[in-house]
Amino acid sequence: MSNKVVYGGFRYKRRKREDKENKILRCEFSERWIQFPVVSELTADNIDYMHLDVMTKGNNDKPKKLCEVIVNRSTLIELLNDIPTIDHRGTDNE
């Protein structure tokens, strides 16, 4: 019998849940993330603007803002929906 400890990914799941609650979208490969706003801003001309902060870890692992990007919310959603997905999972029946 093996004495190896197998982790069920609880830390990963907890972090994903916390990120969603805090409106954070992390880079899967680096220590950067996008901090989404709590609310967006609807202007008189009916454009829904979102201020997105591009963040990284600074001194003492404190969050550091690299820049801010202001985007049209509906345009962002349209662009995301229009991006095709390439399936890299492969098949087991080869």
What pLDDT was estimated at residue 12?
A: 82
**Nearest of 94, 48, 93, 45 to residue 70 by alpha carbon:** 48
Question: Exposed (0-12), middle (13-18) or buried (19+): which is 34, by Cβ within 10 Å?
Answer: middle
Reported for 35-38, long-range contacts at CB under 8 A and 24+ positions apart, including other chains, are 35/63, 35/65
Rounded (5°) CA angle 66-54-75: 135
What pLDDT was estimated at residue 90?
A: 81
Rounded-to-integer distance, Cα 76 and Cα 58, Å: 28
Question: Tens of pLDDT along the chain (94 residues)?
Answer: 556 655 557 888 898 899 999 999 999 899 999 999 999 999 999 999 999 999 999 988 899 999 999 999 999 999 999 999 999 888 765 5
